[in-house]
């Protein structure tokens, strides 16, 4: 009998699942987050509870085997939320812990690593894009708010950058498609949940400054819509004031 | 304030947009205590205009009331256009407001020359100084060094800015004298050399706590392509020497866009030479990241870049004796020279081949452009005699190959069959 392992959708949950698999020697058919519907009729479901200490232990084991960079890479690949990424990660971790090949962790071109590497690169690329295209609005005295809808779950990866850059202003970054956000209170960044979220109406004068600037910075003689859409895909226009008109059309 | 500022933004950014430099990379200034903003080493793009260029900095002129009359420039004295000039407070407030909302990575400040070069430069320096000292601004500042300004002001610009640039604009001193009678090469190279020397001086030896962060992101320049008669070889030769002697970080190329009706310049109906500009950038990349020298890319017998194929492919086709290369044994430098393999793939190949043989199937997964690379890679499954490189044949194949995403759908084959 094989088991489909169900975990709670977080990275710590996923690592706890790995821990349970090794602790109980479970034969694995697949790993699924609890939001997905299991399709495999021939395996039994097994729910794993999330325990921080288990997650830490698996993390430590990965770092010992392969180093911090690989752990970061696995985390980024996990954030892609791609269907079936858990199984790819599990295959990789299995190879890592199997000790069949001592050099395995150092080979970036192995068939287990390459898909994860590509996924992690996509996630990193989107994170970097959001360093740029995230837009704050001043909604109170020294209080700034930004709404984003990224393709991957990159919100956590943004915290450090914006904390370092805007350390003297309070800000909230809210991921409205995943319904959670980050709040920086001038000291630490904490995760917040807003129920019945409504975007703030107010627009300040810098929005119109920016729209004017954006319009006059375009060189008409060199228009290249294809390149433009490749650099700034349409799915990101919704929260960019300079693309508002194009978006509402 | 709103109306007049809006108008100034519109006039002065439209006048600045022909400066192509937009990068905000190369500086990792940390956020000043009780201040705002830092430098991101890789640079960050904050938006993209519909011409496909990135917006990273607020690229704007301090003033467009110019006293010079350069043929190629939209702000020249003899043009009848609206003129505007910022005041310092207005501009710094604008920069800080936009920065705090994460619209921009910093400021790119240039200016037309009003009154005299020193007078203009002093304004630019004062804007940078106010941002750094009054607002404790740690973001990116790119200042133009105005040719003819005094060494003292140029030095101060280097202390406050992350990057400075002096535009060469016309790539030979003869054409410059013809198109821009108020400028000369000597005045352009003077601030450039001065800044390069100071940067070298400050970076010598171990930095003490008193060593200033002098131009952490170095210098750049820009040349206009297609306004005067220089060959691609002249342009690459000049940029290569700028990289080596003046230690520039980037040389930008700007395809000439006819803005003024001037009999010294190409007619106003001529389209900007975008393909040539692209090929020049590719050649520039070869010099900066692929360890090519300019005389490997072009020589006196063919002084122009081939517009149909990229310069790296051009080199490979002129050197069939080097190929096919075995990617499992060749040096990193040689793998970099295979068309279709970039820096990232080359590094992956070199680190991956220590563990297992790299095959063509691997390469496809790594993201190598096999349609170009396949002619130049040794394939152990084929006899050597079938793997000779025939440049004419390859070139024909490459040019004839249908491009992806062609808009037109052909119904002919189905009708014929």
> Has residue B408 got a pLDDT over 60?
no
DSSP B379-392: -TTS-GGGG---HH
For the segment A172-205, what is each residue's pLDDT rounded down to a tens digit? 999 999 999 999 999 999 999 988 888 877 678 8
Q: pTM of the full predicted structure?
A: 0.91
* pLDDT grade for B97, boundaries at 50, 70 and 90: very high
In this complex, do B55 and A169 lie within 8 Å of one another by their Cβ atoms? no
> Has residue B332 got a pLDDT over 60?
yes
In this complex, do A108 and B348 lie within 8 Å of one another by their Cβ atoms? yes
Q: Where are the domains of chain A?
A: 2-124, 134-202, 206-249
Q: Domain total for chain B?
A: 2
The answer to whether residues B49 and B155 belong to one domain is yes
Give the separation between CA B281 and CA B279, rounded to whole angstroms: 5
User: Which pLDDT belongs to residue A72?
Assistant: 96
Work out the number of other CB atoms within 10 angstroms of the CB of residue B400.
7
The percent of residues in chain B predicted with pLDDT above 90, rounded, is: 62
Q: Which of B156, B188, B218 is the last residue of a domain?
A: B218
Q: Is B239 within a domain?
A: no
**Chain B residues within 8 A of A173 when measuring between CB atoms:** none
Q: Which B residues in the span 31-90 are in contact with A, Cβ-Cβ below 8 Å?
A: 31, 34-38, 40, 42, 44-56, 58-60
β-bridge partners, A175: A148, A180
**Chain B residues within 8 A of A112 when measuring between CB atoms:** none
Nearest CA distance, B162 vs chain A (angstrom)? 17
In this complex, do A167 and B102 lie within 8 Å of one another by their Cβ atoms? no
Which contiguous run of DSSP H or E holds residue A5?
Answer: strand A2-7
**Chain A residues within 8 A of B55 when measuring between CB atoms:** 214, 217
CB B72 within 8 Å of CB B169 = yes
CB of B365 within 8 Å of any CB in chain A? Answer: yes
User: Which pLDDT belongs to residue B409?
Assistant: 47
Q: Is B253 within a domain?
A: no
CB B307 within 8 Å of CB B274 = no
Q: Is B340 within a domain?
A: yes
For the segment A6-62, what is each residue's pLDDT rounded down to a tens digit? 999 999 999 999 999 999 999 999 999 988 887 777 888 999 999 999 999 999 999
Check residues A220 and A248 and name the one with the higher pLDDT: A220
User: Which pLDDT belongs to residue B335?
Assistant: 96
CB of A107 within 8 Å of any CB in chain B? Answer: yes
In this complex, do A144 and B101 lie within 8 Å of one another by their Cβ atoms? yes
Output the CA angle B405-B409-B414, nearest 5 degrees: 135
Cross-chain CB nearest to A166 (options B36, B105, B271): B36
> Has residue A222 got a pLDDT over 60?
yes
User: Which pLDDT belongs to residue B416?
Assistant: 41
User: Which pLDDT belongs to residue A134?
Assistant: 96
Which contiguous run of DSSP H or E holds residue B163?
Answer: strand B163-165
**Chain B residues within 8 A of A108 when measuring between CB atoms:** 348, 351-352
The answer to whether residues B144 and B26 belong to one domain is yes
Work out the number of other CB atoms within 10 angstroms of the CB of residue B74.
17
CB of A108 within 8 Å of any CB in chain B? Answer: yes
Work out the number of other CB atoms within 10 angstroms of the CB of residue B176.
19
Alpha carbons within 13 angstroms on the beta-carbon side of residue A56 total: 3
CB of A69 within 8 Å of any CB in chain B? Answer: no
The answer to whether residues B38 and B140 belong to one domain is yes
User: Which pLDDT belongs to residue B174?
Assistant: 87
Residue of A nearest to B40 (CA): A161
For the segment B111-137, what is each residue's pLDDT rounded down to a tens digit? 999 989 999 999 999 999 999 999 999
Q: Is B112 within a domain?
A: yes
**Chain A residues within 8 A of B354 when measuring between CB atoms:** 103, 106-107
The number of angstroms, rounded, from the C-alpha of B11 to the middle of its chain's C-alpha atoms is: 24
Work out the number of other CB atoms within 10 angstroms of the CB of residue B253.
22
Q: Is B243 within a domain?
A: no
Nearest CA distance, B70 vs chain A (angstrom)? 20
Check residues B411 and B343 and name the one with the higher pLDDT: B343
First to last CA, chain A: 55
* pLDDT grade for B158, boundaries at 50, 70 and 90: very high
The percent of residues in chain A predicted with pLDDT above 90, rounded, is: 76
The answer to whether residues B204 and B320 belong to one domain is no
User: Which pLDDT belongs to residue B412?
Assistant: 45
The number of angstroms, rounded, from the C-alpha of A221 to the middle of its chain's C-alpha atoms is: 38
> Has residue B40 got a pLDDT over 50?
yes
For the segment B68-80, what is each residue's pLDDT rounded down to a tens digit? 988 888 889 999 9
Pairing of strands A170-175, A143-148: parallel
Residue with tokens 């202003």: A169
On whether ipTM exceeds 0.85, the answer is yes
The answer to whether residues B212 and B317 belong to one domain is no
Q: What is the residue range of B163's domain?
A: 2-218
Q: What's the burial of B42, exposed, middle or buried (CB within 10 Å: 0-12/13-18/19+)? A: exposed
Output the CA angle B154-B158-B163, nearest 5 degrees: 115
The percent of residues in chain B predicted with pLDDT above 70, rounded, is: 96
CB of B14 within 8 Å of any CB in chain A? Answer: yes
> Has residue B417 got a pLDDT over 60?
no
- Among A99-108, B113-122, B214-223, B299-308, the least confident range: A99-108
In this complex, do B49 and A217 lie within 8 Å of one another by their Cβ atoms? yes
CB of A212 within 8 Å of any CB in chain B? Answer: yes
Q: Which A residues in the span 149-168 are in contact with B, Cβ-Cβ below 8 Å?
A: 161-162, 164-168
- A10-35: buried (b, 16+ CB within 10 Å) or exposed (e) per residue? ebbbbbbbbbbbbeeebebbbbbbee
Out of A107-111, B169-173, B296-300, give the one with best mean pLDDT. B296-300
DSSP percent split of chain A into helix, strand, coil, nearest 5: 50, 15, 35
For the segment B130-149, what is each residue's pLDDT rounded down to a tens digit? 999 999 999 999 999 999 99
In this complex, do A228 and B102 lie within 8 Å of one another by their Cβ atoms? no
């Amino acid at each position: 009998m094989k088991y489909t392992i169900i975990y709670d959708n977080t990275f710590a949950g996923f690592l706890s699942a790995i821990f349970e698999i090794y602790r109980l020697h479970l034969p694995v058919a697949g790993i699924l987050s609890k939001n997905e519907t299991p399709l495999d009729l021939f395996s039994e479901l097994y729910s794993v509870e999330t325990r921080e200490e288990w997650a830490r232990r698996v993390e430590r084991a990965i770092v010992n085997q392969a180093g911090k960079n690989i752990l970061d890479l696995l985390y980024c690949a996990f954030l892609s939320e791609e269907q079936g990424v858990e199984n790819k990660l599990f295959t990789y971790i299995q190879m890592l812990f199997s000790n069949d090949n001592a050099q395995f962790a150092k080979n970036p071109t192995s068939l287990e690593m390459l898909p994860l590497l590509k996924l992690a690169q996509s996630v990193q690329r989107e994170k970097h894009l959001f360093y740029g295209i995230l837009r704050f609005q001043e909604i109170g005295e020294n209080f700034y708010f930004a709404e984003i809808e990224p393709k991957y779950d990159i919100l956590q990866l943004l915290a450090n950058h914006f904390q370092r850059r805007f350390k003297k202003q309070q800000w909230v970054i809210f991921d409205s498609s995943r319904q959670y956000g980050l709040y920086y209170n001038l000291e630490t960044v904490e995760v917040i949940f807003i129920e019945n979220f409504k975007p703030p109406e107010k627009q300040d004068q810098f929005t119109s400054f920016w729209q004017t600037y954006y319009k006059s910075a375009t060189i008409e003689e060199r228009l290249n819509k294809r390149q433009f859409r490749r650099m700034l895909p349409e799915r990101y226009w919704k929260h960019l004031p300079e693309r508002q008109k194009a978006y509402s059309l | 304030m709103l109306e007049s500022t809006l108008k100034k933004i519109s006039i002065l950014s439209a006048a600045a947009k022909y400066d192509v430099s937009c990068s905000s990379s190369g500086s990792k200034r940390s956020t000043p205590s009780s201040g705002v903003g830092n430098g991101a080493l890789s640079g960050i793009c904050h938006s993209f205009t519909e011409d496909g260029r990135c917006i990273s900095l607020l690229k704007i002129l301090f003033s467009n009331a110019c006293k010079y009359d350069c043929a190629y420039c939209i702000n020249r004295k003899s043009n009848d256009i609206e003129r505007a000039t910022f005041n310092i407070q207005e501009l710094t407030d604008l920069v800080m407001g936009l920065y705090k909302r994460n619209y921009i990575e910093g400021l790119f400040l240039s200016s037309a020359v009003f009154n005299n070069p020193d007078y203009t430069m002093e304004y630019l320096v004062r804007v940078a100084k106010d941002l750094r000292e009054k607002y404790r601004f740690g973001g990116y500042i790119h200042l133009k060094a105005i040719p003819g300004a005094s060494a003292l002001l140029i030095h101060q610009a280097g202390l406050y800015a992350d990057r400075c640039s002096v535009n060469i604009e016309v790539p030979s001193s003869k054409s410059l004298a013809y198109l821009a009678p108020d400028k000369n090469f000597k005045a352009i190279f003077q601030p450039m050399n001065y800044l390069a020397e100071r940067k070298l001086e400050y970076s010598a030896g171990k930095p003490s706590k008193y060593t200033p962060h002098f131009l952490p992101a170095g210098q750049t320049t820009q040349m206009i392509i297609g306004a005067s008669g220089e060959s691609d070889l002249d342009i690459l030769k000049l940029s290569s020497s700028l990289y080596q002697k003046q230690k520039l970080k980037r040389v930008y190329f700007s395809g000439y866009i006819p803005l003024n009706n001037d009999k010294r310049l190409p007619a106003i109906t001529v389209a900007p030479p975008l393909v040539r500009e692209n090929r020049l950038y590719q050649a520039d990349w070869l010099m900066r990241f692929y360890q090519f020298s300019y005389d490997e890319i072009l020589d006196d017998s063919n002084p122009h870049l081939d517009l149909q194929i990229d310069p790296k492919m051009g080199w490979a086709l002129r050197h069939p004796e080097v190929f096919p290369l075995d990617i499992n044994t060749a040096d990193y430098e040689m793998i970099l020279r295979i068309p279709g393999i970039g820096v990232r793939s080359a590094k992956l190949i070199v680190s991956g081949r220590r563990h297992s043989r790299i095959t063509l199937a691997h390469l496809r997964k790594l993201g190598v452009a096999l349609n170009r690379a396949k002619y130049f890679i040794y394939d152990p499954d084929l006899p050597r005699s079938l793997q000779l490189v025939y440049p004419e044949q390859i070139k024909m194949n490459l040019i004839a190959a249908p491009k992806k995403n062609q808009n037109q759908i052909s119904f002919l084959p189905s009708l014929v069959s």
